[in-house]
Amino acid sequence: MFFDDGVDLIRKTTVAVNAKAGQLWRSDDGLGYYVVGIRNRLYLVHRVLWCMRTGAWPLGVIDHLNRNTKDNSVANLRDTTQAENVWNGRVRLDNTTGIKGVNRYRGKFRVNMEIHGKVYSKNGFNCIQEALAYRLELVRIHRGDAAARREAALYE
């Protein structure tokens, strides 16, 4: 096996019944992640690629920073905790504002966030931009500048 850093593909090195050497060696697991079989066991491709790049199996979960589970490029992956991975999750389907943790409340906007077990809630924002600015400030304070920049880029 090898990986191509530009496209991050794992290719077959031997000929199998239905495949030729050099053919892509991956399939979808039904949840949007590529899986690969190695010695009769299935592995998530992003975890295998992480190990190939760093020389060590990931300690936590591998987070796709841009939320695209098919993009296994080096810049898009990070080894992180489950809690950090949840922070990078998608907006809930029932969210009406399009911004995580921001909802309408009595004609205005409200920010609700839980960070490390503590709930932060603030009401009375006249516009969604004010609520987003407050949310990003909380992220910056509790998760750092890089996390705040990543989140801000999602809403530009």
pLDDT in tens, 17-31: 555 554 555 566 677
Structure tokens at 155: 């809403």
Nearest-angstrom CA–CA distance, 101 and 97 = 9
Confidence of residue 138 (pLDDT cuts 50, 70, 90): very high
Give the per-residue pLDDT at 103: 92
Q: How open is the CA angle 63-64-65, to the nearest 5 degrees? A: 100
Nearest-angstrom CA–CA distance, 76 and 62 = 10
More confident residue, 89 or 98: 98
Listed in order, strand segments (DSSP E) in 52-133 are 61-64, 77-80, 102-105, 108-115, 118-125
pLDDT in tens, 46-83: 898 899 888 999 999 999 888 888 888 888 899 998 88
Average pLDDT, the chain: 80
The lowest-confidence range among 27-36, 109-118, 144-153 is 27-36
Mean pLDDT for the stretch of residues 10-22:
52
Nearest-angstrom CA–CA distance, 4 and 53 = 11
Residue 3 has pLDDT above 60, yes or no: no
Q: How far does CA 25 lie from the centroid of its chain?
A: 23
CA-wise closest residue to 58 among 33, 79, 39, 78: 79
How large is the angle between the packed helices 128-143 and 145-154, nearest 10 degrees? 150
CA-wise closest residue to 13 among 4, 22, 3: 22
Structure tokens at 151: 């989140």
In percent, how much of the chain has pLDDT > 90?
29
